């Protein structure tokens, strides 16, 4: 039998009666064929049966009604909210697989990076039977709109062994394959989502000039896609389609917000499927072949909770994460996690009331990416009538009639899954609503928070910063400072973060122009019960392109896109070590640092020299610096066909002013 997998997915799933089957997947027709099958209701086999479809090699359009969440019978054991006192059993089991899968790539990478006087390959071999002794690597990609997506994409491309000619001497290809975690925020969440929802694909494939390419940013999400390829609508049809999806969710009884519009629009540019893949869910990553095989890092995106009218600062904001299995927070507020595939379910005091239905399909991939980047709701509201197509203007009117100025940047996660949960510490326990906003609104624009949780035991974080902290849209360490300040606040909850200098020192010492290590000497943390990860801070800076486009530039032609990705590639590997020939070996030293301590292995002299070269030594210079406006180190890439600015300058300025902060 055949049934469609996209849009209104059928309510049955075929399973071979004998327990064996050979399903085939036709991506063009969006059908799944399973021969000689009996059928069982999809609703009762929602998760377990999909896990068994082990030849599907990408996340799945598995929401039964497309963008509209569906009410289904709850599993026999019932979903519950669990305490955040430990990792979930699902993550813990997955980690055993993933950590072992990183051993081979890590050995190849470290041996190739060639630490003078130290046999890194032999070191990995010696500890290969105990992966926990080896480095546990995280990569964090900041927010910053399409600038952050493209600069972050360049870094991921530099870290990926699948990138052409990226596994030679001194190249960093294989770092991605050696990593356990990959986190993203706002524009960084778009990067993470576009990789994972499209079968853990490569950046090169996302750029490729084919009918299946994804990174086609010539048209902004305001205008909509060209009438070609998978995206078949003109602008009017595009907005009608968005409106239809959002109306469907609303009519099913779920609250909607501008983030529904934003998330659906994002999907057209980030998901390689017809109509932006309205049935694709984030939880389906957890049942896709690359992930279940342990062949990818663990993807996490984050958002902040904010009640309407509340002002966020890094010291008081509850941070929520979305991973393939769960949504929740490690913070000592709600301090709990809910199964991601059952978001939208009515939980009370951590359980589903008797006789209530469960919900599936609420965790739409685009909606989650939109949640992490809801900053752009403000951008939409700053457009004047001449900037907005008529169809979009009509759609916005309906939203604005129901929204006040205090909550136009929120994503609505009603019913609150943490209602009456941990009432003594959870400030939202008595609210049936949970409203989330862009993860950078508390100034922590690099998603470091999920990677410094003690239960995850991350040794090193490569922090790719594409923030627009300065007037010319370059980073100055603001996010690092915000995360450090939070780590010493009442919400720290056992997390630890290396000491960092003030933002003026970042600029005065040039720490925002080149990679810098923080937390090199773990003996400095003897007063802490937890040793923080070593953080390799990699700020966006110009090598061969002006990669500092405005956060609110929503379109680029292919030349500018490729130039910014190329620049990000060079930022991450310091132009293949040509800016500093010691960089490749010093990356290896940074990766090994905490592992060498764990195994009581002497630090190689070459690594000591690296730490002297790249570690912040505690020097401070807090005088107000001159305006930071750098020029590229090398000859710039020709982008004469650069796309015109998608919005007037006054719109970008007004949107930034409306937000009251500039880190994005």
Give tens-digit pLDDT for 238-256. 888 888 999 999 999 999 8
For 38, the token pair is 């009996």
> Is residue 656's pLDDT more than 60?
no
What is the reported pLDDT for 31? 37
Q: Beta strand 336-339 with 326-329: parallel, antiparallel or unpaired?
A: antiparallel
Cα R_g (the chain), whole angstroms? 24
The region that residue 597 occupies, defined by phi over 0 for left and psi between -120 and 50 for alpha, beta otherwise, is: alpha
Would you say the pTM of this structure is higher than 0.95? no
What is the reported pLDDT for 36? 31
- CA-nearest of 328, 252, 321, 326 to 66 is 252
Domain boundaries of the chain, sorted by first residue: 1-48, 89-659
Query: What is the mean pLDDT of the segment spanning 41-48?
Result: 34
The band of 186, judged by pLDDT with boundaries at 50, 70 and 90, is very high
What is the reported pLDDT for 169? 86
Number of residues that this document lists for the chain: 664
Q: Quick: pLDDT tens for 432-449.
A: 999 999 999 899 999 999
Cα–Cα distance between 328 and 308 in angstroms, integer?
A: 20
The band of 209, judged by pLDDT with boundaries at 50, 70 and 90, is confident
> Is residue 497's pLDDT more than 90?
yes
Cα–Cα distance between 274 and 228 in angstroms, integer?
A: 11
Query: What is the mean pLDDT of the segment spanning 589-599?
Result: 98
> Is residue 70's pLDDT more than 70?
yes
CATH architecture of 89-659: 3-Layer(aba) Sandwich (3.40)
What is the reported pLDDT for 651? 37
What is the reported pLDDT for 467? 97
> Is residue 18's pLDDT more than 50?
no
Q: Beta strand 37-41 with 319-322: parallel, antiparallel or unpaired?
A: unpaired
What is the reported pLDDT for 54? 35
Q: Could you give the angle at which helices 558-573 and 145-159 cross, rounded to 10 degrees?
A: 50
> Is residue 136's pLDDT more than 60?
yes
Query: What is the mean pLDDT of the segment spanning 97-111?
Result: 98
The band of 19, judged by pLDDT with boundaries at 50, 70 and 90, is very low
DSSP β-bridge partners for residue 38: 15
> Is residue 13's pLDDT more than 90?
no
Which range in 26-30, 311-315, 464-468, 554-558 is most confidently predicted, on average pLDDT? 464-468
> Is residue 636's pLDDT more than 90?
no
What is the reported pLDDT for 223? 75
Query: What is the mean pLDDT of the segment spanning 422-437?
Result: 95
Query: What is the mean pLDDT of the segment spanning 641-660?
Result: 40
Greater confidence (553 vs 122) lies with 122
What is the reported pLDDT for 664? 54
> Is residue 45's pLDDT more than 50?
no
Cα–Cα distance between 295 and 58 in angstroms, integer?
A: 12
One-character DSSP codes across 310-363: PPP-TTTPPEEEE-SSEEEE-STTT-EEEEGGGTTS--BTTBPPTTPPEEES-S
What is the reported pLDDT for 312? 67
What is the reported pLDDT for 307? 78
> Is residue 130's pLDDT more than 90?
yes
Residue 228 has what DSSP assignment? Answer: B
Helix (H) or strand (E) holding 366: helix 365-372
> Is residue 313's pLDDT more than 90?
no
> Is residue 527's pLDDT more than 70?
no
Cα–Cα distance between 276 and 368 in angstroms, integer?
A: 14
Query: What is the mean pLDDT of the segment spanning 183-195?
Result: 97
What is the reported pLDDT for 474? 98
What is the reported pLDDT for 213? 75
Which range in 8-12, 405-409, 641-645 is most confidently predicted, on average pLDDT? 405-409
Among 365-379, 384-398, 584-598, whose mean pLDDT is lowest? 384-398
What is the reported pLDDT for 472? 96
Average pLDDT of every residue of the chain: 84
> Is residue 394's pLDDT more than 80?
no
> Is residue 175's pLDDT more than 50?
yes
> Is residue 286's pLDDT more than 90?
yes
Cα–Cα distance between 377 and 552 in angstroms, integer?
A: 11
Cα–Cα distance between 658 and 653 in angstroms, integer?
A: 9
One-character DSSP codes across 97-132: HHHHHHHHHHHHHHHHH--TT--HHHHHHHTTT-GG
Greater confidence (274 vs 119) lies with 119
What is the reported pLDDT for 638? 73
The band of 149, judged by pLDDT with boundaries at 50, 70 and 90, is very high
Cα–Cα distance between 360 and 343 in angstroms, integer?
A: 7
**Residue whose pair of structure tokens reads 């294989």 in the numeric block:** 174
> Is residue 146's pLDDT more than 60?
yes
What is the reported pLDDT for 635? 86
Among 13-22, 296-305, 312-321, 471-480, whose mean pLDDT is lowest? 13-22
> Is residue 408's pLDDT more than 80?
no
Cα–Cα distance between 191 and 156 in angstroms, integer?
A: 9
Which range in 135-139, 433-437, 630-634 is most confidently predicted, on average pLDDT? 135-139
Write the CB contacts of 348 (distance below 8 Å, at least 6 apart in sequence).
Answer: 419, 420
């Amino acid at each position: 039998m055949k049934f469609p997998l996209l849009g209104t997915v059928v309510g049955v799933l075929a399973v071979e009666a004998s327990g064996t089957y050979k399903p085939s997947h036709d991506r063009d027709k969006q059908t799944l064929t399973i021969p000689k099958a009996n059928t069982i209701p999809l609703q009762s086999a929602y998760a377990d049966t999909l896990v068994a479809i082990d030849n599907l090699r990408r996340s799945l359009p598995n929401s039964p009604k497309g963008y509209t969440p569906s009410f289904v019978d709850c599993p026999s054991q019932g979903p519950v909210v669990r305490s955040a006192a430990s990792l979930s059993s699902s993550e813990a089991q997955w980690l055993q697989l993933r950590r072992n899968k990183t051993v081979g790539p890590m050995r190849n990478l470290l041996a190739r990076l060639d630490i003078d006087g130290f046999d890194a390959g032999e070191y990995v071999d010696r500890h290969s039977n105990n992966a926990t002794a080896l480095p546990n690597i995280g990569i964090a990609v900041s927010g910053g709109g399409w600038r952050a997506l493209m600069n972050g994409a360049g870094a991921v491309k530099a870290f990926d062994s699948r990138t052409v000619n990226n596994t030679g001497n001194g190249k960093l290809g294989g770092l991605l394959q050696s990593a356990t975690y990959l986190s993203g925020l706002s524009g960084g969440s778009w990067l993470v989502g576009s990789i994972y929802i499209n079968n853990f694909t490569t950046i090169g494939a996302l750029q490729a000039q084919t009918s299946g390419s994804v990174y086609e940013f010539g048209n902004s999400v305001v205008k909509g896609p060209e009438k070609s390829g998978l995206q078949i609508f003109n602008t009017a049809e595009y907005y009608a389609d968005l409106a239809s999806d959002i109306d469907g969710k609303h009519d099913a009884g779920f609250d909607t917000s501008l983030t529904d519009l934003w998330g659906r629009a994002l999907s057209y540019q980030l998901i390689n499927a017809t109509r932006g893949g309205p049935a694709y869910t984030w939880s389906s990553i957890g049942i896709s072949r690359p992930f279940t095989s342990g062949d990818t890092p663990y993807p996490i995106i984050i958002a902040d909770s904010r009640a309407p009218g509340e002002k966020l600062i890094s010291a008081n904001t509850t941070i929520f994460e979305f991973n393939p299995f769960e949504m929740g927070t490690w913070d000592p507020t709600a301090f709990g996690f809910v199964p991601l595939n059952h978001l939208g379910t009515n939980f009370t005091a951590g359980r589903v009331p008797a006789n209530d239905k469960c919900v599936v399909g609420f965790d739409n991939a685009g909606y989650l990416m939109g949640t992490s980047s809801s900053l752009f709701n403000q951008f939409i509201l700053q457009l004047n009538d001449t900037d907005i197509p008529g169809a979009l203007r009509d759609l916005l009117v309906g939203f604005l009639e129901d929204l006040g100025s205090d909550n136009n940047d929120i994503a609505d996660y009603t019913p609150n899954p943490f209602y009456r949960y941990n009432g003594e510490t959870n400030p939202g326990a008595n609210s049936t609503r949970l409203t989330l906003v862009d993860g950078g609104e508390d100034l922590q624009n690099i998603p470091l928070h999920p990677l410094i949780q003690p239960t995850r035991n991350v040794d090193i974080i490569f922090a790719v910063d594409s923030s627009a902290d300065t007037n010319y849209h370059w980073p100055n360490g603001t996010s690092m400072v915000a995360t450090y300040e939070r780590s010493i606040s009442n919400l720290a909850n056992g997390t630890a973060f290396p000491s960092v200098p003030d933002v003026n020192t970042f600029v005065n010492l040039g720490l925002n122009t080149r990679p810098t290590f923080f937390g090199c000497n773990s003996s400095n943390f003897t007063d802490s019960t937890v040793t923080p990860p070593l953080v390799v801070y990699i700020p966006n800076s110009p090598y061969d392109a002006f990669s500092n486009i405005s956060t609110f530039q929503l379109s680029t032609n292919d030349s500018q896109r490729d130039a910014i990705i190329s620049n990000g590639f060079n930022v991450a590997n310091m132009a293949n070590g040509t800016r500093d020939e010691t960089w490749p070996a010093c990356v290896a030293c940074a990766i090994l640092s905490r592992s060498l301590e764990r195994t009581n292995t002497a630090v190689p002299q070459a690594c000591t020299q690296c730490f002297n070269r790249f570690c912040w030594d505690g020097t401070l210079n807090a005088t107000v610096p001159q305006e930071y406006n750098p020029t590229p180190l090398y000859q710039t890439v020709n982008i004469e066909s650069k796309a015109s600015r998608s919005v007037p300058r006054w719109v970008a300025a007004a949107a930034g002013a409306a937000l009251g902060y500039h880190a994005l």
